[in-house]
Amino acid sequence: MVQSSVLGYPRIGENREWKKALEAFWAGKLQESELQHKLQAIRLSHLSKLQKKGIDIIPVNDFSYYDHVLDTAVMLGIVPSRFSYEGHGPVPLTTYYAMARGSREAPACEMTKWFNTNYHYIVPELDGSSPVLTENKPLSAYREAKEQLGIEGRPVILGPLTFLKLSKGYSLSDTDEWLERLIPLYGQILQELEAEGVQWVQMDEPILVTKLEPVDLLRLRSSYDYLTKQAPVIRIMLQTYFESVDYYDELVTLPVQGIGLDFVHGLKDNLNSIKTKGFPENKVLGAGIIDGRSIWRAPLDDKTAILDELGKSVSADRLLLQSSCSLLHVPVSLRQENQLPAVLRNNLAFADEKLDELVLLTKAVAQGESVVAKTVEDVRQAAQSLKASEERSRGDVHLAIAAIREQPLERSRPFAERYAVQQAKWQLPMFPTTTIGSFPQSQEVRRARQLWRRKEWNGEQYTGFIRSQIDKWIGLQEEIGLDVLVHGEFERTDMVEFFGEKLAGFAFTQNGWVQSYGSRCVKPPIIYGDAAYIGEMTVKETSYAQSRTRRPVKGMLTGPVTILNWSFVREDIPREAVACQLAYALRQEVEALERAGIGMIQVDEPALREGLPLKEAYHAEYLSWAVRAFRAATCTVQDTTQIHTHMCYCEFHDMIDSIKQMDADVISIETSRSHGELIRSFEQETYELGIGLGVYDIHSPRIPQPGEMIAMIERALRVLDPKLFWINPDCGLKTRGIEETAASLRNMVEAAKAIREKY
């Protein structure tokens, strides 16, 4: 009979108990045994929740003490030598956390984004380590669930090909050698699970939705050939997610017993593969039907229609209804959300509500669609009310974005001409110095914001405080000798939340946390209505700062694409349309700043690249509307108004064309992470707009010396025009200390002066 499953459940707990336990342990306030105890309680409560809800096949080993990729590395003995692990038995928890977070002796392993999500994993480093099975974590997880709760769990294991592809520290020519070292360990894990009587394992191979070489498919086949020979009885669900698979023919002929496909994010192509090519009769289809990444209720009638289609090729007893990916990417539960507008709340489904949807849908397949009739009607009505609500009926916004879509979105003059006008107006020296926007958010600053939020301070007290901070930092920036100043962003906790709270169309949950990396959780805003401008958002603070100095003060906004990519977004209109609405709202703020006499405006787009689709075929379309959104927000200003932008967090070398098309007068880009590559790509492609490559890494408390920065600038000037080059740090300084920030900026200004002498 048809059954239900999920690919993983959030670790953080309904009240972020997990996060709190980890942090207490790191702070030395919990003993290791207490931590183990607390985490076990959380883990078991999740399992028993899934059991009570009626999920048929319950994942185990999806839980983690930090990150599942790190777990896999540690399980396979992939511990870089700097952490001095002696090479047998379970890796100690202190070593595990040292890899994740760094220790006094050794810097942490690198962290990077998990596919196209906002979850970050720890990158395994293969060099210098010799793989060995240090413990069978899936086995312990399976035993625990069985012994404690009588659950016949399905261990989740990160598959060998994906693990290897996500690792670093080996050359491509050694791929096969590494696979040969790792595969026997996987074989041993499966053998032990088989001996224990485990029926199914979920082998996550999300790498299969990305572009692979033919040789990778051979590796895949030989790996799974080997594994099924090692453990012939256990059944493997080869699990993919986040997109459709391009190698369907290959997958369905692998010697595994189940194939898991995403019928949300790869719906069209995956469904098409099944329809045109059929599905093997000896395999189970894991149908990812409930979206593991969105917070919206599923229209169950649409879902049953898809399942009907699948039913033509797959009989019900070989069908498993699943979440499209792990539920790790959505908040835990709606239960505590009692302050959301009802018209919105009725349309939401977080992890726990998704469990209900899966169970219900499974029932519908088994017993007929009448079982879901009432829910279908509920969802339809909720959607209808939201659609009819004022929030989604802003006629002025609809008209404006229809117009924007028709416009070329160009500044009135090309860059070279307007830059000359701007130079004449500002009279800045060669190599102007500036910062990215935020200054240290000291204890004092955070406390002030809290007092004000809790209404213990009135508006006047709070404004007075913010102004005193602005005064202090304007004074300091002048004294340090920076050329373009900023107000410091002391009034902002988060660069998206701050704007979301001031625009229409947004809602904020009380408890809608999602794990971002380690114990760090984020609470993304929900864009559920038409995003619209209500009134000035940044003009007061910016003009105040400008009134305190004769040097230019740069206004500071978060760009439309970044707001979009760091929020949960309505799905009734395309993302492009939401970006366009946000751009139109931001354009009004840009114009308001300009009217208030602010002549330089920075529109940050650190997350522009994060929205890049996994499949290359969709890149151009995304980049085109993302760039247009930025231009829509910024193109209406006068020639003399200088538009800046800033990007960080990822690699930019392969998107220089799009960056050019943004047509910002000045861009500042983080360089420390992809330095070499970025400079190299400027060798191949000229960049003829204002540009500042970050001259020092703000992620470290270390104070950079002028010499290092001079070297870095000179390297950049081999490929970039000195007349267009700006000098700035890599990113905002809000996480840094006051003293170190001032010292670093002093050295930066000194470096700029030295460079000016040479040119």
Number of other CB atoms surrounding residue 510 within 10 Å: 11
Ranges within 98-117 binding ligand GLN (CB under 6 A): none
Burial class (CB in 10 A: 0-12, 13-18, 19+), 414: exposed
- Is residue 436 part of an annotated ligand binding site? yes
User: Which of 216/489 has CB closer to ligand GLN?
Assistant: 489
Of 3-11, 432-440, 442-450, 698-706, the window that binds ligand GLN (rule: CB under 6 A) is 432-440
Those residues whose C-beta lies under 8 Å from the C-beta of residue 173, and which sit 6 or more positions away, are none
DSSP symbol at 433: B
Smallest gap from residue 497 Cβ to Zn ion (A): 16
Judge whether 12 and 41 are in contact, CB under 8 Å.
no
Closest approach of ligand GLN to the CB of residue 435, in Å: 7
List the single partner that 285 binds among Zn ion, ligand GLN, none, CB under 5 to 8 Å by kind.
Answer: none
Out of ligand GLN, Zn ion, none, what residue 483 binds, judged by CB under 5 to 8 A for its kind, is none
Residue 19 assigned as binding residue: yes
Q: Which of 124, 432, 437, 500 binds ligand GLN (CB under 6 A)?
A: 437
Q: Minimal distance in Å, beta carbon 649 to Zn ion? A: 7
Q: Report the residue number, 46 or 487, with the smaller CB distance to ligand GLN.
A: 487
Written as six digits, the tokens of 17 are: 């108990």
Q: Is 397 in the site for Zn ion (CB under 5 A)?
A: no
Cβ 596 to ligand GLN shortest distance, Å: 19
Using the contact rule CB under 6 A, the part of the chain among 20-28, 258-266, 356-364, 434-442 near ligand GLN is 434-442
- Alpha helix segments (H runs only) across 481-618: 497-500, 539-547, 560-565, 575-595
Which one of Zn ion, ligand GLN, none interacts with residue 734, CB within 5 to 8 A by kind? ligand GLN
Is residue 667 part of the contact set for ligand GLN (CB under 6 A)? Answer: no
CA separation, residue 472 to residues 77, 441, 465, 540 (Å): 51, 13, 11, 17
Residue 16 labelled as part of a binding site:
yes
- Spatial distance between the Cα atoms of 8 and 149, rounded to a whole number of angstroms: 18
Site string for ligand GLN, 728-757 (x = CB under 6 A): ---xx-x-----------------------
Element (H, E) at 361: helix 351-367
The residue (of 435 and 658) whose beta carbon lies closer to Zn ion is 435
CB of 224 to ligand GLN, least distance (A): 41
Q: Is the dihedral of CA 306, 579, 604, 733 positive or negative?
A: negative
Q: Are 319 and 285 in contact (CB under 8 A)?
A: yes
- For ligand GLN, the binding residue among 154, 181, 548, 646 (CB under 6 A) is 646
Catalytic residues: 699
Q: Which two tokens stand for residue 625?
A: 């509307």
> Which residues are CB-contacts of 332 (< 8 A; sequence separation ≥ 6)?
10, 12, 13, 14, 350, 351, 352, 511, 513
- Restricting to residues 601-630, name those near ligand GLN by CB under 6 A: 604, 606
Asked if 648 interacts with ligand GLN (CB under 6 A), we say yes
Residues shown for the chain: 759
Number of residues that bind ligand GLN (CB under 6 A): 13
Query: Is residue 118 marked as binding?
Result: yes
- Check: CB of residue 203 under 8 Å from CB of residue 260: no
State the nearest-atom distance from the C-beta of 648 to Zn ion, in Å.
3
- Judged by beta carbon, residue 236 or residue 648, the one nearer Zn ion is 648
Judged by CB under 6 A, the stretch of 129-137, 154-162, 435-443, 477-485 that binds ligand GLN is 435-443
Q: How far is the CB of 181 from ligand GLN (least distance, A)?
A: 39
Q: Which of residues 569-608 bind ligand GLN (CB under 6 A)?
A: 604, 606
Answer for which of 298, 648, 667, 755 binds Zn ion (CB under 5 A) is 648
C-alpha to C-alpha distances, 582 to 18, 239, 387, 734, nearest whole angstrom = 35, 36, 19, 25
Residue 726 CA from chain centroid, whole number: 29
The piece of 186-194, 338-346, 684-692, 726-734 that touches ligand GLN (CB under 6 A) is 726-734
CA 287, distance to chain mean position in Å, is 25
Out of 313, 438, 672, 728, name the contact with ligand GLN by CB under 6 A: 438
Say if residues 277 and 253 touch (Cβ distance below 8 Å): no
201 contacts ligand GLN (rule: CB under 6 A): no
Q: Computed over its alpha carbons, how large is the radius of gyration of the chain?
A: 27
Does 731 count as an annotated binding residue? yes
- Interface positions, 458-517, toward ligand GLN (CB under 6 A): 489, 495
369 known member of a binding site = no
Nearer to ligand GLN (CB atom), residue 164 or residue 667 = 667
Distance in Å, CB of 755 to ligand GLN, minimum: 23
756 known ligand binder: no
731 binds Zn ion (CB under 5 A): yes
- Chain Cα centroid distance, residue 643: 26
Which of Zn ion, ligand GLN, none does residue 495 bind (CB under 5 to 8 Å by kind)? Answer: ligand GLN
Burial class (CB in 10 A: 0-12, 13-18, 19+), 613: middle
Helix (H, G, I), strand (E, B) or coil at 118: coil
Euclidean distance between CA atoms 362 and 76, whole angstroms: 36
Q: Does 437 count as an annotated binding residue? A: yes
667 is an interface residue for Zn ion by CB under 5 A: no
Q: How many residues at the interface with Zn ion, by CB under 5 A?
A: 3
Nearest to 224 by CA among 285, 157, 271, 124: 157
Letters for 509-548 (x = contact with ligand GLN by CB under 6 A, - = none) are ----------------------------------------
Alpha-carbon distance of 178 to 174, in angstroms, equals: 6
d(CA 435, CA 698): 11
Contact 244, 268 (CB under 8 A): yes
Q: State how beta strands 154-158 and 600-604 pair.
A: unpaired
Q: Does 553 bind ligand GLN (CB under 6 A)?
A: no
- Stretch in the footprint of Zn ion (CB under 5 A) among 240-248, 633-641, 642-650, 694-702: 642-650
Instruction: List, in sequence order, every residue forming a beta bridge with 644; answer none if it has no partner.
Output: 602, 666
Which residues neighbour 327 within 8 Å (Cβ) at sequence distance 6 or greater?
6, 7, 8, 9, 10, 292, 351, 354
Residue list, annotated binding site for Zn(2+): 646, 648, 670, 731
Residue list, annotated binding site for L-methionine: 436-438, 489, 604
The binding site for Zn ion (CB under 5 A) comprises 606, 648, 731
The binding site for ligand GLN (CB under 6 A) comprises 436-438, 489, 495, 556, 604, 606, 646, 648, 731-732, 734
